[in-house]
Structure 1
Amino acid sequence: MKTLLFLLVLLASTPVAAVGAHHLDSVGQEKLGSTDFPVSCALETRGEFNQAVAMLHSFWYDEANKTFRRIAESDPECAMAYWGVAMSLYRQLWATPPTEDELREGRAALQKAKALAVKTEREQLYLAAVGVLYRGEEANYGKRKLAYEQAMAKVQARFPDDLEANVFYALALISTASPQDKTYAKQKQALALLQKVLDAVRNHPGVAHYIIHASDNPELASLGLAAARSYARIAPAVPHALHMPSHIFIRLGLWQDAADSNLAAYRAATDYARDNFPGKVWDQQLHYMDYLLYVYLQSGQRDKAEAIWREAAAIQKPHPENTTSAYALAAIPARYAIERQAWSEAAQLGIRPLAFPWEKFGWCEAITHFAKGLGAARSGDPATARTSLQRLEALRNAAKAAHNAYTADQIEIQRLAVAAWMAHADKQDQEAERLMRASADLEDATEKDNVTPGAIIPARELLGDLLLDMRKPKQALKEYKASLQRTPNRMHGLQGAEKAAQAG
Structure 2
Amino acid sequence: MKKWLFIFLPAALVFTAIVQKRYFDNHYTIATVQSDIPGISCGPANYNVILPDENGKYITLLPGWGNHSYTITTNSDSAQVYFDQGLTMYYSYHPREAMASFKEAARFDSSCTMAYWGQALAKGPPYNFGHQYVMDKNIFGIISLMNKYVTMASAREKDLVAAMNRRYDKSDIDDKDRKAHNIAYAAALKQLISRYSNDNDIKSLYTDAMMLIHPWDFWYNNGEPKPWTMELIQYTRNILSEDPHHPAALHYFIHLTEASHQPGVALQNADSLKKLFPSVAHMVHMASHEYERSGYYMEGVDVNQKADSNVVQYSNLTKGLIQSVHVPHYDAVSAYCALSGGMYTIAMEKAMECRSHVNPDARNTYQQYLYMFPYFPMVRSGKWQNILSDSTYIANDWTYAKIIRDFARGMAYARSKNIPDAVKCLEQLKHEKNDTILRIPFTPYMSSPFECASIAEHILAAAIFSEQKNYPAAIKAFELAIKAEDGLLYTEPKIWMLPARQYLGALLLQIQQPAEAEKIYRDDIRRNPGNGWSLLGLYQSLQQQQKTTELFSAKQGYTQSFAHADAVPAASVY
- After TM superposition, the score normalised by the length of structure 1 is 0.76
Structure 2 equivalent of residue 168 of structure 1: 205
Bigger mean CA offset, 336-345 vs 200-209: 336-345
Residue of structure 2 aligned with 1:154, choices 191, 194, 198: 191
Cα distance in 1, alignment partners of residues 66 and 500 from structure 2: 39
Residue of structure 1 aligned with 2:283, choices 238, 241, 246: 241
Residue of structure 1 aligned with 2:337, choices 284, 290, 295: 295
* 1:422 maps onto 2:480 in alignment: no
Q: Which amino acid aligns with 1:407?
A: S
> 1:123-154: per-residue Cα shift (whole Å, max 9, x none)?
33331343279966665877765555444333
Q: CA deviation at 1:238?
A: 0.4
Tell me the SS of whatever aligns to 2:131: coil
Cα distance in 1, alignment partners of residues 435 and 180 from structure 2: 26
Structure 1 equivalent of residue 478 of structure 2: 436
Structure 1 equivalent of residue 348 of structure 2: 306
Going from structure 1 to structure 2, the CA distance change for 1:143 and 1:112 (only over 3 Å counts) comes to closer
Structure 2 equivalent of residue 329 of structure 1: 370
Q: Give the 5 Å matches for 1:345-384.
A: 345=386, 366=400, 368-369=401-402, 371-378=404-411, 379=413, 380-384=421-425
> 1:18-61: per-residue Cα shift (whole Å, max 9, x none)?
xxxxxx85625x73341315357967522211110011111122
Contact 1:243/1:265 (<8 A) preserved: yes
Q: Give the 5 Å matches for 1:74-85.
A: 74-85=108-119
Relative to its length, the structure with more helix (as a share) is 1
Structure 2 equivalent of residue 18 of structure 1: none
* 1:258 maps onto 2:300 in alignment: yes
Contact 2:131/2:444 (<8 A) preserved: no
* 1:27 maps onto 2:62 in alignment: yes
Cα distance in 2, alignment partners of residues 236 and 346 from structure 1: 38
Gaps of 5+ in 1: 13-23, 360-364
Cα distance in 2, alignment partners of residues 326 and 348 from structure 1: 23
Contact 1:374/1:385 (<8 A) preserved: yes
Going from structure 1 to structure 2, the CA distance change for 1:493 and 1:220 (only over 3 Å counts) comes to closer
Residue of structure 2 aligned with 1:487, choices 502, 519, 528: 528
Going from structure 1 to structure 2, the CA distance change for 1:304 and 1:417 (only over 3 Å counts) comes to closer
Cα distance in 2, alignment partners of residues 206 and 159 from structure 1: 18
Contact 2:190/2:206 (<8 A) preserved: yes
Contact 2:193/2:202 (<8 A) preserved: yes
Q: Which amino acid aligns with 1:131?
A: Y
Cα distance in 2, alignment partners of residues 446 and 206 from structure 1: 28
Residue of structure 2 aligned with 1:204, choices 231, 237, 246: 246
Structure 1 equivalent of residue 499 of structure 2: 458
Q: CA deviation at 1:352?
A: 7.0
Q: Give the 5 Å matches for 1:97-246.
A: 97-100=131-134, 103-104=135-136, 107-114=137-144, 116-117=147-148, 118-119=150-151, 121-131=158-168, 148-175=185-212, 176=214, 177-180=217-220, 182-185=223-226, 186-246=228-288
Going from structure 1 to structure 2, the CA distance change for 1:129 and 1:370 (only over 3 Å counts) comes to farther
Contact 1:218/1:487 (<8 A) preserved: no
Cα distance in 2, alignment partners of residues 76 and 330 from structure 1: 47
Tell me the SS of whatever aligns to 1:407: coil
Cα distance in 1, alignment partners of residues 263 and 425 from structure 2: 39
> 1:157-198: per-residue Cα shift (whole Å, max 9, x none)?
444333211012123334413443632253332221123322
Structure 2 equivalent of residue 394 of structure 1: 435
Contact 1:129/1:151 (<8 A) preserved: yes
Contact 1:221/1:251 (<8 A) preserved: yes
Q: CA deviation at 1:377?
A: 3.2
Q: Which amino acid aligns with 1:122?
A: D
Bigger mean CA offset, 471-480 vs 138-147: 138-147
Q: CA deviation at 1:317?
A: 5.9
